[in-house]
């Protein structure tokens, strides 16, 4: 189904005022660069505003401000940082609709998703971090030794476009909680919500230099952050290609690099599960955010002799999804974020057809009636094999792949035969059996029988999915150094 009614959200006032500014040392300032980049509304393919792309001089200024601020901020008390997070949360809550509007404009999330999931995700991570901070032990005793957990220093934060506030909060909240200062580079494709977020931190009273925003692209600003000798840590979420480049650039200065780089999550539906109930639940989750989620269960593994039944169930759900303008409350699936992403997904759909997977619904091209915008048909492939490109490559679009398996061991082998290992799902009528299978999956997170994620639990993966963890206490530890004080006991 498609819908064509459009009424784009208004550009938030703070974005109109500061889209072409950077935020350094507590002030909105002009960039040293004059290079502009249009921000495209993916639903209309028309620009909504422009940002300035910062350069190396801007990075130097932001890092210098963060370095100056670090000594004082790192020595603040836990109570002071608790008060600061509480102030941020209060301002964030008051401006959540403004954030949602920015997200819809910049990356095309349906307004219903932006209001219910995208904007609240960032708020939720601040609340989870606040709870972790209140109980965190920054000192522990080990025999005659005191272990101190101290802020690592200045952190460079590089965030993606698909869940912009979620990923920004997963990095900024724990960094501030433990006493680090930061320089944030949001995705240049979806930079508007970062302007709103920065304004919230300014309003909340974050001290000058503690939080800095430098808009820019990866090859310039991202590379400069990775190479900078006064950056102590890089926390990155994005592609494998960019992550590998950042790690190489960071190596010469021996800084810590924490990365989350996507996934190709397997969803194992065991033969004793209620196939219809599981698919109706999990297919719905896969298409949230137009499939542009690193932990989406895009490979659903079903018993081979029930493939036709599974395909029919999934098709029955997907064919009722409304693909259309994100401003329409009825829309379930909005556009992809950009022309480049649209072209990539179209190519992968065509590869699935060429490789011999059964096209159950959807396919190449735009949905009928949607000639403008980066819209993709909600697509299902069945009878796929795990060596196909659609089963191995992260598609990041509304494309689901059904793969058949022979028995439990075969399902686990297929699930683990991936370069990625971020998330996984397993469903069974026997909870203990599901737990046993989950323990054999080589992935950082597994949802058992539809269990929701716990925001206080560590988020991250194995293999090419990354090498760090975010969320709750584990997210805070990423930004800490450990010091041993021998003999420091009374």
Q: Which of 98, 188, 202, 260 is catalytic?
A: 260
Radius of gyration from C-alpha coordinates of the chain: 23
Q: Is 309 tagged catalytic?
A: no
Distance CA 307, CA 287 (A): 20
Q: Is 150 tagged catalytic?
A: no
**DSSP letter at 291?**
G
- Strands 379-384 and 462-463, how do they pair? unpaired
Beta strands in 304-367 (DSSP E): 358-361
Q: In terms of C-beta density within 10 A (0-12 exposed, 13-18 middle, 19 or more buried), how is residue 77 classed?
A: exposed
Phi, psi of 425, rounded to the nearest 5 degrees:
-140, 145
Distance CA 428, CA 268 (A): 9
Half-sphere exposure (Cβ direction) of 134: Cα atoms closer than 13 Å: 11
Angle at 361 between CA 356 and CA 365, to 5 degrees: 85
Q: Which of 294, 470, 473, 478 is catalytic?
A: 294
Count of other CB atoms within 10 angstroms of residue 280: 14
Q: Which two tokens stand for residue 85?
A: 């997070």
Alpha-carbon dihedral 327, 332, 338, 344, rounded to 10 degrees: -170
Nearest to 95 by CA among 201, 216, 250: 201
Q: Which two tokens stand for residue 38?
A: 């249009």
Distance CA 427, CA 405 (A): 14
Distance CA 395, CA 52 (A): 30
The set of catalytic residues is: 260, 294
């Amino acid at each position: 189904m498609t819908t064509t009614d459009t009424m784009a959200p208004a550009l938030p006032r703070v974005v109109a005022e500061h889209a072409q500014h950077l935020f350094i040392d507590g002030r909105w300032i002009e960039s040293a660069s004059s290079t502009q980049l249009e921000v495209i509304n993916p639903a209309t393919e028309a620009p909504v505003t422009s940002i300035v792309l910062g350069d190396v001089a801007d990075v130097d200024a932001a890092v210098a401000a963060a370095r100056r601020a670090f000594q004082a901020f790192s020595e603040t008390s836990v109570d002071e940082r608790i008060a600061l997070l509480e102030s941020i949360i209060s301002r964030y809550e008051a401006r959540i609709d403004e954030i949602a509007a920015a997200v819809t404009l910049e990356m095309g999330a349906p307004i219903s998703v932006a209001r219910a999931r995208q904007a609240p995700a960032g708020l939720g991570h601040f609340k989870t971090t606040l709870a972790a901070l209140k109980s965190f032990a920054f000192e522990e005793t080990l025999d005659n030794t005191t272990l101190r957990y101290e802020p690592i220093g200045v952190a460079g934060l590089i965030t993606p476009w698909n869940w912009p506030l979620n990923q920004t909060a997963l990095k900024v909240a724990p960094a501030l909680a433990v006493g680090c200062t930061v320089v944030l580079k949001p995705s240049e494709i979806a930079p508007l919500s970062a302007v709103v977020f920065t304004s919230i931190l300014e309003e909340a009273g974050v001290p000058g230099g503690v939080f800095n925003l430098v808009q820019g692209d990866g090859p310039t600003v991202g590379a400069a952050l990775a190479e900078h000798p006064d950056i102590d840590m890089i926390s990155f979420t994005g592609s494998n290609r960019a992550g590998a480049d950042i790690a190489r650039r960071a190596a010469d200065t021996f800084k810590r690099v924490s990365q989350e780089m996507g996934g190709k999550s397997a969803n194992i539906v065991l033969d004793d599960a209620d196939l219809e109930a599981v698919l109706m639940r999990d297919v719905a989750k896969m298409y949230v955010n137009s499939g542009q989620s690193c932990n989406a269960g895009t490979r659903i593994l079903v018993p081979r002799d029930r493939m036709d039944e599974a395909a029919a169930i999934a098709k029955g759900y997907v064919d009722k999804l409304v693909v259309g303008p994100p401003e329409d409350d009825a829309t379930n699936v909005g556009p992809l974020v950009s022309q480049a992403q649209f072209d990539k997904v179209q190519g992968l759909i065509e590869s699935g057809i060429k490789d011999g997977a059964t096209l159950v619904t959807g396919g190449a091209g735009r949905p009928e009636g949607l000639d403008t915008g980066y819209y993709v048909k909600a697509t299902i492939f069945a009878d796929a094999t795990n060596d196909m490109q659609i089963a191995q490559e992260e598609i990041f679009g509304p494309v689901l792949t059904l793969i058949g398996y022979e028995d439990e061991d075969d399902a686990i082998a297929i699930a683990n035969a991936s370069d990625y290992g971020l998330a996984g799902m397993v469903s069974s009528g026997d909870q203990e059996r599901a737990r046993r299978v989950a323990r054999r999956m080589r992935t950082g997170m597994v949802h058992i029988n539809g269990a929701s994620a716990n925001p206080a639990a560590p988020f991250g993966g194995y293999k090419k999915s990354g090498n760090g963890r975010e969320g709750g206490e584990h997210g805070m530890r990423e930004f800490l150094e450990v010091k041993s004080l021998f003999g420091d006991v009374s």
